[in-house]
Each structure stands twice: as structure tokens, then as C-alpha cells.
Structure 1
Amino acid sequence: MATTKVVDVLDRASIILQDTGNVRYANADLLKFFNDGQREVVMFRPDANVVHAAFTCAAGSKQSIANITGALRLIEVVRNTSGRSVTQVSRLMLDNSLPNWHSTVADPDIKIEHFIYDSGDPKHFYVYPAGETTFSLDIIYSSSPSDIAITNFSNDTQTISLDDTYANALLDYILYRSYQLDSEFAGNPQRASMHYQAFSAALAQKTQGDAASDPRPVIGGLQ
């Protein structure tokens, strides 16, 4: 859970912009840049804002998270909410071994056994056997961060929606957008570019760090 307050990130941006009185860059504008920055982070790192939730199945094999507010892409189907695990399999395997798998009726005690997911269609997945509206799955999905609203910038205590490790990247994103806003002034286009590069580099470095410390074993090159 994050401990970095949003207003602290905005204050740091104002100091670097040499505008602590918020004459040129109002806090309300910096907050808009901050909210955009959180969404930009999740665009590059879908795992930066994940939700664990119970999902009620639709009838049939095809399932969708498109109607869930903020849902961007499925990350994992963990289990039937009642307890039995669910494993991921390839559609090709089921197509070859069980050509009529889409219409297979589930055992009400076993429920869902497998799920099929294609990253090219991130808001949909298939289940085997076919789902019933009485079935519930525990799923993990990436979600777009909700906009943070602040009315009193002097004493607001809301924290950033992402992990604290993204605070510096969000600061660079705010500075990028601020300098881009005043790109007609000498040096600002270069400053904007520098801060966006720093933002991108921070995300890339975190990706590398996370991969290096991933607790999942690698067997035969596959995770």
C-alpha cells in the first residue's frame, strides 16, 4: 500500500519548476498531469494497478471483463471461488482434443477446470467447461487508476494509487507535461524530452528489476 501523498509529489514538481506559489502551474493542472501519468504507467505496466475480485460467469464458454469499470486486461484466473483451482491451457489443445468443448456442460461440483486467454483480446477469455451464471471465479485483472480529486491542496492526505516505487516516475511525467505546456520558451522542449525519457527509463528499469527477482521458477525457458 502506497504511503506517498499526491500533494507531496505535486509540491516537488512545483519546486523543480521554480513555481512554489503555483502562479504559472496551478495545482489543479499539475493534478491533471499526475492522473494522466498514473494511467500512462499502467499502459506500460499493466501489473502496476491490479484488482483481485470475484467474477460471476456468463452462461457459455466466452467470458468478458469489458463491463467492469476500469478493467483493462485479464492477468490471471486463479480458481473457482468455491475453492477448486483453474489452470490455463491453449485453445489449440482443446480444439484438437475436444472439438466441441465450447458446449461441454460443467459438473456442478467441479465447475470450471481451465481457462483460455489470448493477449490480443485482453478483455475476454474462455472457460472449460462452459460457464453458468451460478459459477464464480477469483480473477486478477489490470485496472485503470481512477482520477484523484483534491479540493484542498494544503492538507489533503490521499496517497498515490500505485506503489511508492512509481513516485519518481510520476514526478518526471508531471514535469514532462509542464515543460511541454510551455514549449515555446527556450530550453523547455529539451527539458520535456529529458523528463519523458527519465519516466520511460524508470519503468524499464523497474521491469528489469522485477524480472530479476521474480519468485516463479523458470523451467525449460517457460514460466
Structure 2
Amino acid sequence: MAVAVNDVIDKVQQILQDTAGIRWSETNELIEWVNDAQREITLLKPDATSTNQTVTLTTGTKQSLPSDGNRLLRVIRNMSAASGGNGGRSVRLVARDVLDTQTPTWHDPNVTGDAAHTNVVKNYIYDEQDPTNYYVFPGVSGDVYLEIVYSKNPAVVAAGDNLGVEDIYANAVQNYVLYMAYMKESEVAANAQRASSHYNLFTAAITGKAQIDTITTPNRERRGDS
């Protein structure tokens, strides 16, 4: 069940003891902070807005995420069509240095041999310093579709919308909005302390979620973790 922005705002106003909207008669500012919170969550935990999507590749080796993407998380496999297609060959992550050493001309559309540009991708290369782009090997020639997982920028929400992050982050969003509200009146010492407290709750929720994900991932069995 999706969490409504209005529900978050209502809880915030209850904590601010302003349910009548006297101090915060305009909720636009609170909603702006909801959107700020979503962006902060995505920054700290990119998979909070992860999406699995089949994308159509462009000719050559360099590929870019869809316009709403902020970071590639994984390339899964080749697909037979842009939508509703069948899965094809899996795609593995490789180091750029390996390809650059073995086949320095692999970006060249006229390259021959194993690096010849084709319609089936075998590997991909990702650089954290260029998070919205990635490279594929061999380069693309023809119609090629890949299933990828990427972190997308959360949609800007309004009063009547649902949150743009998963429901489990609703409390984190609430604490971030409270942090901003108390920071705005931080000339009062008690408000400054409350702002700090809510920000700590916000960051603890995000980092704690990351730790829980690490502990509970099915990949622990593959790694042999205890």
C-alpha cells in the first residue's frame, strides 16, 4: 500500500503541534522538504529507487541510462525485444583495463575478431565516476536490448500524490521534514537540538536499512557468510 504525501504531512504537523495549520498554514514548504528527503534517500541508498527495465541500446560501445536515471546498478541480460521479449545471453561486468589491454581498438566500429560490433552484448564496463553512462562489449551494431537495473531520480511529488520512494522510507521522510522545520527556527536552542535529533533519526534509518540489506541478502549463502 502506497504512503500518501498528505499522510506524512499530517504526522509532521501533529509532532509540530500545529494540526490546525496556524504556524505552518502553507504546506508547500513541507512538501518541498518531502521532495528534498526523497533525493537525500536516493543519494545515500541508490537502490531505494531501483527499477528493472529493458532498454534499447545505441550504436557503438557507449550507453546512457534513461533520462530519469542517476546511477547504474547492474546489467542483467540481452533481451529479444524492447518490451515483452525473451531473455537471452547474460551480461557480465569486466574491468576496462582488461579490454583496453587485450583489444585496444574495441571501441572502433570497424574492429574485427571477438570485438567486432554485433547484436549480442557479452560484457559491460562501469565507472563510478561516470554513474549515468556505461560501455558494452562488443559494441552495438543493429537492434540490441538489455535488461538493466538502475537507480532513478525520485519523481517530484505534490500534496495529492504518493511518495516516490518505497513505503518503508516513510518514517525517514518524516524525520527529514521535521529536521528542516526545526532548523528553520533553530535560533531557539531547543529547536536546534530537536533538528539534530530528527536528522540523526533520518540518517540512522537509511544506514540501518543498508546494514539490514547486507545481513539478509540471499547472496550471503553464496559468499559463505555465517
- For 1:47 and 1:34, the matched residues in 2 are separated by 18
1:201 corresponds in structure 2 to 204
- 1:105 corresponds, among 116, 119, 123, to 116
SS in 2 for 1:168: helix
- Cα shift readout 1:15-66 (whole Å, capped 9, x = no counterpart): 000000112123222111111101110010000001222222122111122x
| Contact persistence 1:106–1:112 (CA under 8 A) | no
Pairs within 5 Å for 1:40-189 = 40-65=40-65, 68-82=66-80, 83-103=88-108, 104-108=115-119, 111-132=120-141, 134-150=143-159, 156=160, 158-189=161-192
- For 1:70 and 1:22, the matched residues in 2 are separated by 34
| Contact persistence 1:88–1:114 (CA under 8 A) | yes
**1:137 partner letter:** L
1:118/1:220 Cα in 2 relative to 1: closer, same or farther (>3 Å)?
farther
SS in 1 for 2:143: coil
The root-mean-square deviation of aligned C-alpha atoms, in Å, is: 1.8
SS in 2 for 1:106: coil
Sequence identity (%):
39
Q: Which consecutive unaligned segments of at least 5 residues does structure 1 have?
A: 151-155
- The range that moved more, 49-58 or 72-81, is 49-58
| Contact persistence 1:57–1:132 (CA under 8 A) | no
How far residue 11 of structure 1 moved from its aligned partner, in angstroms, is 0.6
| Contact persistence 1:78–1:139 (CA under 8 A) | yes
**1:185 partner letter:** V
- For 2:223 and 2:194, the matched residues in 1 are separated by 44
SS in 2 for 1:84: strand
SS in 2 for 1:18: coil
SS in 1 for 2:31: helix
1:192 corresponds in structure 2 to 195
How far residue 188 of structure 1 moved from its aligned partner, in angstroms, is 1.0
- For 1:119 and 1:20, the matched residues in 2 are separated by 44
| Contact persistence 1:86–1:112 (CA under 8 A) | yes
| Contact persistence 2:56–2:143 (CA under 8 A) | yes
| Contact persistence 2:156–2:164 (CA under 8 A) | no
**1:18 partner letter:** Q
How far residue 133 of structure 1 moved from its aligned partner, in angstroms, is 5.3
- For 2:155 and 2:186, the matched residues in 1 are separated by 29
- For 1:172 and 1:62, the matched residues in 2 are separated by 40
- Cα shift readout 1:45-93 (whole Å, capped 9, x = no counterpart): 000001222222122111122xx33210111111112222111111122
| Contact persistence 1:56–1:133 (CA under 8 A) | no
1:153 corresponds in structure 2 to none
| Contact persistence 1:76–1:139 (CA under 8 A) | yes
**2:16 partner letter:** L
The alignment's TM-score, normalised by the length of structure 1, stands at 0.87
SS in 2 for 1:115: strand
Runs of 4+ displaced beyond 4 Å: none
2:19 corresponds in structure 1 to 20
How far residue 220 of structure 1 moved from its aligned partner, in angstroms, is 8.0
